[in-house]
Amino acid sequence: MSTHFVKKFSALRAIGCVSQQLRAAWSCYSTASLVEPQAPSVKTAVPGPKSNAMKRDLDLIQNTEVIQFFVDYDRSVGNYIVDVDGNVLLDLFTQIASVPLGYNHPRIVKALTDPANLSAFANRPALGMYPPAQFAKSLSETLLSRRERGGKPPTQEEIETSLLNTPPGCPKLSVLSFKNAFHGRTMGALALSHTKWVHKLDFPVPNWPLATFPTMTYPLEEYADENNAEDARCLAEVRDRIASAKKAGQPVACIVSEPMQCEGGDRYASPNFFQGLQDICQEAGIALLLDEVQTGAGATGKFWLHEHFYLRDPPNLVTFAKKMLTGGFYYTPDMRPTEGGRIFNTWTGDPSKVVLLKAVLDVVKEEQLLKRATDTGNYLMKILMDAQEKYPHLLFNSRGLGSLAAVDFPDAAARDKVVQKLRSQGNIRNDVNDTVDIRSIHVGLCGTRSMRIRSTLTLEKKHVDVFADRYYAVLKGM
Amino acid sequence: MSTHFVKKFSALRAIGCVSQQLRAAWSCYSTASLVEPQAPSVKTAVPGPKSNAMKRDLDLIQNTEVIQFFVDYDRSVGNYIVDVDGNVLLDLFTQIASVPLGYNHPRIVKALTDPANLSAFANRPALGMYPPAQFAKSLSETLLSRRERGGKPPTQEEIETSLLNTPPGCPKLSVLSFKNAFHGRTMGALALSHTKWVHKLDFPVPNWPLATFPTMTYPLEEYADENNAEDARCLAEVRDRIASAKKAGQPVACIVSEPMQCEGGDRYASPNFFQGLQDICQEAGIALLLDEVQTGAGATGKFWLHEHFYLRDPPNLVTFAKKMLTGGFYYTPDMRPTEGGRIFNTWTGDPSKVVLLKAVLDVVKEEQLLKRATDTGNYLMKILMDAQEKYPHLLFNSRGLGSLAAVDFPDAAARDKVVQKLRSQGNIRNDVNDTVDIRSIHVGLCGTRSMRIRSTLTLEKKHVDVFADRYYAVLKGM
């Protein structure tokens, strides 16, 4: 061997290479084939004794009031979630709508155990400064207001005042949001959220313009005129709020809306309303941000809910999270910052989540899950409509799109009773360590009297049949 | 086999169990032993041609102005980072101070490839509602203002106004911060940050009280009187700002400070100052939040920097991230929310990061890394002080604590030149595909004219010797 070769070889050994060294060791691995249960089953009330004991332990560390039950994530498979008491529930709420393919999906497991991905999990980079080699490619495969100053570079006064939080560097601008909207908990997002006092009380957030989101009357085809009038009334109010804010010296820079208000009660608005909203924004030079955190990633049968609106132009900004596995946003080219470091933080995202997202998007494409979400959603809507026809005093406004569905009850008490019975009522045998075949269905709540269904994209008609069977049984007993 | 047994067995099979099925497959795995290089080496300028090409690609997707170089995370080991051009740099900035044990640490790799941890990576839960079984234990092993209303439940008026962002539900409270502070980019955190216009310009953040953080004069022992007077002056100003805010109807609910201002220029303040600040807070019933994002997790040789202050009581809130691998905060019992859902979001953290954090904390304890950070830090400080003595017109205010260190230059130009030369200057041979043994050191910047060192907790004296050698060589050439 030449000295040159030895030197190069030693350098390679010295540097080391995680994936090369692990590839051999891991080559024995092949994706375990996990089997989804045929049906749910409960052994105990939900939450059961083990969940309750764990809740008492955790309560020593933090407030646990909203905990539903403790989960055995190791045993949860596909559309079925298994709690620590061994109860197996069909999960139609899926971690607040954040599970795209179901629990322990083999493709997610494969991505996690692929040695080529190991360093993405082991070394979280400061992406804005030191990205990995394949980062542009990885972004392309997965994710892809300086207007007031007229695009001019900042003056010395603007630079100095910006550091002191005073105008002109820190201008008095505002963001318009809608009643019943929910956008998050950090200060800016909280200022735009208006669903529950428990989110808001005592927090000093800016008092920005607030407009009314349309309330649709169902069935839509019967109330077309009323709904058109509601759209017009709400759009006029938006115009009015924009004018008032300008007059008050706090002009609107951006309008933020969910394409469908989820936490606020699964409140849909028409394509007509959103087209009008975009018209208003474009006329006034206001950015339109659509918050697709809960509605994106294929949940509605299209990749984004706003694709159902047929807007003339794309929204200026779209935010996402939940089923996308990582939080983020995308934007029109005019929104791109001209200076470096304007949109920045230490980690600027997490490439290990992009590894998993790639697996999700590949499966969505290969298995045509958008089409499946549409088909399964239509099948579910038929069940919900049929039940509503059969129980007209108990069920109202059944509505949905793809994997999202909701139905209203006369009041919160009736809703909560149905949801509780769907989850755990039946012929429970606490004393025997054996399962009893009972339909046990996990769904969510929203608004004041709505039941909310948020399934994975892998839900099939057979799962809906399981739901339908139990739904009718519970309704019959009410 | 009894029918009973068959039934139970089938149920177990049907449910599946990820870890059981994978444990056998993965038993062949043992942690690859990666070898840290003996010394840095550069082949090309840094950033090299491959980094520059990748930057051009990524720039089609996003602003890339602050990208330093692209990294081969697969080949980076311990305290050495390898860029995509094959340059091997001693990393003394470590992803903006966020790498606790170095790249591809075997214990991190072990945690990642342990089948028992797989489901934590595959199934990100909504922790606030559906935590996994071992969550309280895992928290105990790793992480562990309603005052104005006097703890009373909210009135109907408070509930309604909170949803509209108006008093009394949304009160006019403020948070006091310090000049030169940096706390983050979301709206509330940005209101408390005052280092660079590029972070702030055009964003409408609240104009809350702002006070002066002490400027220490070095060497500290020579300027004890001056520094005491500076502490007193700054504390008096804090008192004054609190009184003014109250008079203006926007009382201070919380004071937020870094225990050492990092981004602002590695500005230390005395234990005396922070003890005085806590006194002021306790007298006025104001919460004290210390932001330990960059200074915590053992970086200073104690677990939190504020332990060096010997405060009478713990701070009310402490925030962390970076070397803790997950963002979060801890708090005194009186800060615990009384209602469920007050502090909440979909994921409420990421248990897969807690898996890695446990590995980090285990290694910190087993290998006594706090002591090592202290020892290595003292050794480094001696080098920095000696160099400052030798180059008194070029180097000022060498200062540090554990793995954190900084030195000032006459101006940004001199600083930037030294940092650039540390990184890549030398006898570079671009035309030959071979390494040339050149000391190549990666450090960071802060403030207007400071060089910032942020090493891992695993840095040893041998690494400091490599740095010292190159530091002197560069200073000699200035």
Nearest-angstrom CA–CA distance, B312 and B306: 11
Q: Residue B203 has what DSSP assignment?
A: -
pLDDT digits (tens, 9 = 90+) for A420-429: 888 875 444 4
Residues of chain B contacting residue A186, judged by C-beta atoms under 8 Å apart:
186-188
User: Between B16, B154, B186, which is nearest A188 by CB?
Assistant: B186
Cross-chain residue pair B70–A133, CB shorter than 8 Å:
yes
User: Between A104, A118, A145, which is nearest B18 by CB?
Assistant: A104
Nearest-angstrom CA–CA distance, B382 and B405: 11
Nearest residue in chain A measured CA to CA from B251: A204
Q: What is the ipTM of this complex?
A: 0.84
Please name the amino acid found at residue B388.
Q
pLDDT in tens, chain B (478 residues): 333 433 433 333 334 455 554 444 343 333 345 788 888 888 888 888 999 998 888 888 778 888 888 889 888 998 888 999 988 888 888 888 888 888 888 888 888 888 888 888 888 877 778 787 777 777 677 655 445 566 678 889 888 988 888 889 889 999 999 999 999 999 999 999 999 998 988 899 999 999 999 999 999 999 999 999 999 999 999 999 999 999 999 999 999 999 999 999 999 999 999 999 999 999 999 999 999 999 999 999 999 999 999 999 999 999 999 999 889 999 998 888 888 888 888 888 888 888 889 889 999 999 999 999 999 999 999 999 999 999 999 999 999 999 999 999 999 999 999 998 888 754 444 444 454 445 588 888 999 999 999 999 999 999 999 899 889 989 998 8
Q: Are B439 and B466 in contact (CB under 8 A)?
A: yes
Give residues with Cβ within 8 angstroms of A401, minimum separation 6.
Answer: A260, A268, A299, A300, A301, A305, A308, A377
The position carrying tokens 């030959």 is B432
Q: Is A291 in the active site?
A: yes
Shortest Cα–Cα distance, A222 to chain B (Å): 33
Give A439's strand partners.
none
Interchain CB contact of B253 with A (< 8 Å): yes
User: Between B7, B61, B75, which is nearest A136 by CB?
Assistant: B61
Which are the catalytic amino acids of B?
182, 291, 322, 346
Q: Are B89 and B426 in contact (CB under 8 A)?
A: no
Nearest residue in chain A measured CA to CA from B65: A340
The pLDDT, as a whole number, for residue A143 is 59
Nearest-angstrom CA–CA distance, B306 and B182: 17
Cross-chain residue pair B68–A7, CB shorter than 8 Å:
no
Cross-chain residue pair A133–B84, CB shorter than 8 Å:
yes
Q: Is A322 in the active site?
A: yes
Interchain CB contact of B67 with A (< 8 Å): yes
DSSP H helices, A32-130, are 49-59, 94-97, 106-113, 118-122
Strand order in the sheet with B80-82: B80-82, B88-91, B441-442
Nearest-angstrom CA–CA distance, B440 and B466: 9
- From the list A299, A334, A326, the residue with the least C-alpha distance to A453 is A299
B367: tokens are 């290998």
B415: tokens are 């600083």
Nearest residue in chain A measured CA to CA from B338: A63
The pLDDT, as a whole number, for residue A435 is 46
Of these residues, A85, A91, A231, A291, which one is catalytic? Answer: A291
Cross-chain residue pair A205–B165, CB shorter than 8 Å:
yes
E strands, A183-279, where?
210-211, 252-257, 260-261, 267-268
| Top-tier CATH class for B160-349 | alpha beta
The pLDDT, as a whole number, for residue A313 is 95
**Element holding B12 (H helix, E strand):** helix B3-15
Instruction: State which CATH number among 3.40.50.300, 3.40.50.1100, 3.30.390.10, 3.90.1150.10 fits the domain covering B49-111+369-476.
Output: 3.90.1150.10
User: Among B8, B12, B15, B322, which would you mutate to test the A interface (most chain A Cβ atoms within 10 Å of its Cβ)?
Assistant: B15
Nearest-angstrom CA–CA distance, A476 and B1: 40
Interchain CB contact of A21 with B (< 8 Å): yes
The pLDDT, as a whole number, for residue B123 is 82
Indicate if B160-349 has the same CATH topology as B49-111+369-476.
no
Give residues with Cβ within 8 angstroms of A441, minimum separation 6.
Answer: A40, A89, A90, A92, A422, A423, A466, A467, A470, A471
What's the alpha-carbon Rg for chain A, to the nearest Å?
Answer: 25
Q: Residue B349 has what DSSP assignment?
A: S
pLDDT digits (tens, 9 = 90+) for A241-267: 999 999 999 999 999 999 999 999 999
The structural architecture, per CATH, of the domain A135-349 is 3-Layer(aba) Sandwich (3.40)
The pLDDT, as a whole number, for residue B396 is 95
Cross-chain residue pair B125–A194, CB shorter than 8 Å:
no
Shortest Cα–Cα distance, B21 to chain A (Å): 6
B178: tokens are 């310090």
Residue numbers of chain A with a pLDDT score lower than 70: 1-33, 139, 142-151, 425-439
* CATH T-level fold of A368-476: Aspartate Aminotransferase, domain 1 (3.90.1150)
The position carrying tokens 């010292």 is B468
Residues 100-139 of A with CB under 8 A from B: 103-105, 108-109, 112-113, 118-126, 128-133, 135-137, 139
Residues of chain B contacting residue A253, judged by C-beta atoms under 8 Å apart:
204
Q: Are A422 and A432 in contact (CB under 8 A)?
A: no
Boundaries of every domain in chain A: 135-349, 368-476
- From the list B393, B470, B401, the residue with the least C-alpha distance to B437 is B470
User: Between B80, B122, B206, which is nearest A165 by CB?
Assistant: B206
Interchain CB contact of A295 with B (< 8 Å): no
Shortest Cα–Cα distance, A391 to chain B (Å): 31
Distance in Å from the first CA to the final CA of chain B: 84
Interchain CB contact of A178 with B (< 8 Å): no
Residues 198-217 of A with CB under 8 A from B: 198-208, 210
Nearest residue in chain A measured CA to CA from B57: A136
Cross-chain residue pair A210–B76, CB shorter than 8 Å:
no
The position carrying tokens 């008050």 is A248
A44: tokens are 């105990």
Nearest residue in chain A measured CA to CA from B115: A113
pLDDT digits (tens, 9 = 90+) for A268-316: 999 999 999 999 999 999 999 999 999 999 999 999 999 999 999 999 9
A220: tokens are 């839509």
User: Between A38, A341, A343, which is nearest B14 by CB?
Assistant: A38
Of these residues, A69, A273, A274, A322, which one is catalytic? Answer: A322
DSSP codes, A335-363: GS-SSTTSS--SS-S-HHHHHHHHHHHHH
User: Between A71, A88, A140, which is nearest B125 by CB?
Assistant: A71
The pLDDT, as a whole number, for residue B144 is 52
Shortest Cα–Cα distance, A35 to chain B (Å): 5
Cross-chain residue pair B34–A13, CB shorter than 8 Å:
no
Cross-chain residue pair B99–A128, CB shorter than 8 Å:
no
Of these residues, A70, A182, A213, A467, which one is catalytic? Answer: A182
The pLDDT, as a whole number, for residue B437 is 42
